[in-house]
Chain A
Amino acid sequence: MSPGRFLRSTTARLALTYLALFGVSVMVLLGFLYWSTAGFMSRQTDATIDAEITGLAEQYGQFGTVGLVRAIKRRAADARASRGLYLVTGPAGLAPIAGNLSQWPEEAPDAEGRLTFTLEYASELGNAGGGEVNLGRARVFALAGGLRLLVGRDIRERLEIAARIRQSLAWGMAITVALAALGGIVISRSMLRRIEAINQTSRDIMAGSLSQRVPVGGSGDEFDRLAENLNRMLDRIEALLAGMKEISDNVAHDLRGPLARLRTRLESALMDDGDAATYRHAIKATITEADGLLTTFNALLGIAQAEAGTPRERFTDVDAATLLADIAELYGPVAEQRGLDFHVDASGNGMVRGDRDLLFQALANLTDNAIKFSPANGIVRLDLQRADDRIRFIVSDDGPGIPEQARADVRLRFVRLDQSRTTPGSGLGLSLVDAVAGLHDGRLVLDDNAPGLRAILELPC
């Protein structure tokens, strides 16, 4: 991948943002660390100096110049260990009276009397670092009587420690940033690689191999979930395409027959030198045949529509009991006319989220089948059951039923059992119910009613 493309990628931008944020926080953290160590040492030096000045001023107040000089000499003697710097001079410009500094520093003190100065004079401390110029930190104090007192500390060592700390912190910062940058690159590279894998699969699929699937890493992370979802989507698309192909195959197969019959009928009517009545008869028969074809065609379209998934935004809350009552009301008289015992129990209740017309069509198909296949004086029952979050519409009859081994087949388009060849029907009724059930995340169960068929349309509610 080219660097330009890498920088344009979302992951690289994320990595850089992360790096910047991380860098700033580490910098703040280290700055605080520096302030609290080096700053602490510096403040402590000043505090020690202040304490000593207070002590020496007391000596002077109590014992006068002699006491002060004595105290300074005593302290200067210990200076090698304490790194103390002392100097007492007379009124400005006069020679040193006591102390381990040979000369009053040239640097001017600040308002508080503090100053940092170069120790280029031979002090009794000698040069601790060897060769280099030492720095002193001191405070000057004017005593009553024109004497000037300077108390300080050789801070070379302290500065060296501070420098060491600064150096360590700088290294720490550099290493942190380097590691973060490296980590960012590694992470974004691996993310990009996985996205690239998805892109590659998409390109392959667009190029025509629909059976390709996005590789799944197996860790169950977001990328895996994305890949799984994409794969499921591809499965669905593939199934839909297969369904479309099946439909067109079936349409070709099952509409060709009736169309051929229709054509033959017209042709033979034309060949017979019949009278007007004969023609009329032939035309009527042809219209009936065409109507049958249309019914089949509409049923196929309905199934295709249900299988393609009507837009779910068209779904409304459908009252199950009302739906069943409407079916019962519509088909009751038909059952009665056929002399059937028609029982309806819509005592269960619940709302189904779905397409009202398609659900009605599905139940109508089941009821129509039950009425059609029941023997004279048979019993047809419509029941509504509610179990937890499922609603079951149960349509049962005591007709011939469907043999167990054929129950999967009858859902297929145009499948009609031999025993039903003589009954009118397109062989599409149960296919539609099956498709409608699928559309609503439900299922169609075909059970033995001993004797007869018990068809259950189970829907979530």
Chain B
Amino acid sequence: MRALIIEDDAEAAGYVAKGLGEAGFVVDVVTDGRDGLVRAMAEDYDVAVIDRMLPGLDGLSIVDALRRAGNQTPVLFLTAMGAVEDRVAGLRGGADDYLVKPFAFSELHARIEALLRRRTGGDATVTTLTVGDLEMDLLARAVTRAGRALDLQPREFKLLEVLMRNAGHVVTRTMLLEQVWDYNFDPQTNVIDVHISRLRRKIDHGFDVALLHTVRGAGYSLRVPR
């Protein structure tokens, strides 16, 4: 996996590069917008992490130029501009995701992985999701574990669906709020935790193997433990 980081803050870039390197990425760092665009065009990256305010050429223009040239490399904007308008402008401009500084590395990692899955997955036509003995029928909107039907509320179903689609990977609380509840807001307390523990009761209670795991300081992950 190759990742390109276009970020003028050397320390922040180094931190991201180190983290992604440890996660198995081969990372290139560019500090100038113009150089970044040239690099992104010339080489084949799996993901680009781009700051919005850059010397030479700003992030929005880089993405615009890439998309115009038909380059579909997934782009994640990393920026201090956190207002909703900025977010909307970034996503409309062709970016695939948006993360506001300061951020936790785990959040960035989870989002990059989700982006990669979205690109390679292409499984929009699947009608069933399976994790271990947990099965979800998207058409019948039914969930079973080890053949036993589980009774889920609509929101719990949606929550489980997002977790199952990202099975084996970390999904952060913010990602869940965005994708399950569709509100962009900042909960004062961790309301998500309560919903997760309810869901956990329904899908893991009474079974030997727990599938829904809390990843400390990051989020949640649905997987079959090794």
Question: A: which residues have CB within 8 A of B?
Answer: 287, 294-295, 298-299, 301-302, 305, 310-311, 314, 326, 329-331, 333-334, 337, 355-357, 360-361, 364-365, 368, 372, 424-426, 429
Q: Can you report 10 residue pairs joining A to B where beta carbons are below 8 Å apart?
A: A299-B186, A302-B186, A305-B83, A314-B84, A326-B181, A331-B191, A334-B191, A365-B188, A368-B187, A429-B188
State the Cβ distance, A414 to closest chain B Cβ, in Å: 14
Q: Are A372 and B194 in contact (CB under 8 A)?
A: no
> Using Cβ atoms and an 8 Å threshold, which residues of chain A touch B85?
310-311, 314
Q: Are A294 and B189 in contact (CB under 8 A)?
A: no
- Select which of A287, A298, A302, A360 is within 8 A of B217 by beta carbon: A287
* A356 nearest CB neighbor, chain B only: B183
Known: A357-B183, A361-B185, A372-B189. A329 touches B194 (CB 8 A): no
> Using Cβ atoms and an 8 Å threshold, which residues of chain A touch B197?
337
Report the bound CA distance from A329 to B183 in whole Å: 13
Report the bound CA distance from A255 to B105 in whole Å: 23
> Using Cβ atoms and an 8 Å threshold, which residues of chain A touch B198?
333
Known: A301-B82, A326-B181. A295 touches B194 (CB 8 A): no
* B216 nearest CB neighbor, chain A only: A284
Q: Are B82 and A424 in contact (CB under 8 A)?
A: no
Q: Are A337 and B194 in contact (CB under 8 A)?
A: yes
* B182 nearest CB neighbor, chain A only: A326
Q: Are B181 and A295 in contact (CB under 8 A)?
A: no
> Using Cβ atoms and an 8 Å threshold, which residues of chain A touch B195?
330, 333
Q: A305-B84, A334-B194 are in contact. List 11 more A-B contacts (CB 8 A).
A: A299-B186, A305-B83, A326-B183, A330-B191, A333-B191, A333-B195, A337-B194, A357-B184, A368-B187, A424-B189, A425-B188
Q: Are B185 and A357 in contact (CB under 8 A)?
A: yes
> Using Cβ atoms and an 8 Å threshold, which residues of chain B touch A294?
102
Q: Are B189 and A368 in contact (CB under 8 A)?
A: yes
Q: Are B102 and A333 in contact (CB under 8 A)?
A: no
> Using Cβ atoms and an 8 Å threshold, which residues of chain B touch A425?
188
Interfacial residues of chain B within 51-95, with CB under 8 A of chain A in the complex: 82-85
Task: Render B185-211 as a binary contact track against A, CB cut-off 8 A, 1 for contact.
Answer: 111110100110110000000000000
Report the bound CA distance from A290 to B147 in whole Å: 45
B119 at the interface (CB under 8 A from A): no
State the Cβ distance, B106 to closest chain A Cβ, in Å: 11
State the Cβ distance, A342 to closest chain B Cβ, in Å: 12
* B217 nearest CB neighbor, chain A only: A287
> Using Cβ atoms and an 8 Å threshold, which residues of chain B touch A424?
189
Q: Are B185 and A360 in contact (CB under 8 A)?
A: yes
* B177 nearest CB neighbor, chain A only: A330
Known: A333-B198, A334-B191, A334-B194. A310 touches B185 (CB 8 A): no
B141 at the interface (CB under 8 A from A): no
* B184 nearest CB neighbor, chain A only: A357
Q: Are A361 and B189 in contact (CB under 8 A)?
A: no
Report the bound CA distance from A111 to B143 in whole Å: 115
State the Cβ distance, A160 to closest chain B Cβ, in Å: 83
State the Cβ distance, B117 to closest chain A Cβ, in Å: 26
> Using Cβ atoms and an 8 Å threshold, which residues of chain A touch B184?
357
Known: A295-B186, A337-B194, A425-B188. A330 touches B181 (CB 8 A): yes
Task: Render B138-182 as a binary contact track against A, CB cut-off 8 A, 1 for contact.
Answer: 000000000000000001000000000000000000000000010
> Using Cβ atoms and an 8 Å threshold, which residues of chain B touch A337?
194, 197
Report the bound CA distance from A310 to B85 in whole Å: 8
In order of increasing CB-CB distance, the 5 nearest A-B pairs are A361-B185, A333-B194, A357-B184, A360-B183, A334-B194
* A363 nearest CB neighbor, chain B only: B185
- Select which of B83, B102, B189 is within 8 A of A334 by beta carbon: B189
* A323 nearest CB neighbor, chain B only: B183
Report the bound CA distance from A461 to B155 in whole Å: 28
State the Cβ distance, B156 to closest chain A Cβ, in Å: 10
> Using Cβ atoms and an 8 Å threshold, which residues of chain B touch A326?
181, 183
State the Cβ distance, A337 to closest chain B Cβ, in Å: 5
Q: Give the one of B181, B194, B217 with max A CB within 10 A.
A: B194
Q: Are B188 and A368 in contact (CB under 8 A)?
A: yes
> Using Cβ atoms and an 8 Å threshold, which residues of chain A touch B186?
295, 298-299, 302, 361
Report the bound CA distance from A365 to B186 in whole Å: 9
State the Cβ distance, B68 to closest chain A Cβ, in Å: 26
State the Cβ distance, A397 to closest chain B Cβ, in Å: 15
Report the bound CA distance from A301 to B184 in whole Å: 14
Known: A326-B181, A329-B155, A330-B181. A364 touches B187 (CB 8 A): yes
State the Cβ distance, B128 to closest chain A Cβ, in Å: 26
Report the bound CA distance from A294 to B186 in whole Å: 11
Report the bound CA distance from A429 to B186 in whole Å: 11
Report the bound CA distance from A72 to B76 in whole Å: 118
* A355 nearest CB neighbor, chain B only: B84
> Using Cβ atoms and an 8 Å threshold, which residues of chain A touch B187?
364, 368
> Using Cβ atoms and an 8 Å threshold, which residues of chain A touch B217?
287
* B187 nearest CB neighbor, chain A only: A364
Report the bound CA distance from A372 to B184 in whole Å: 22
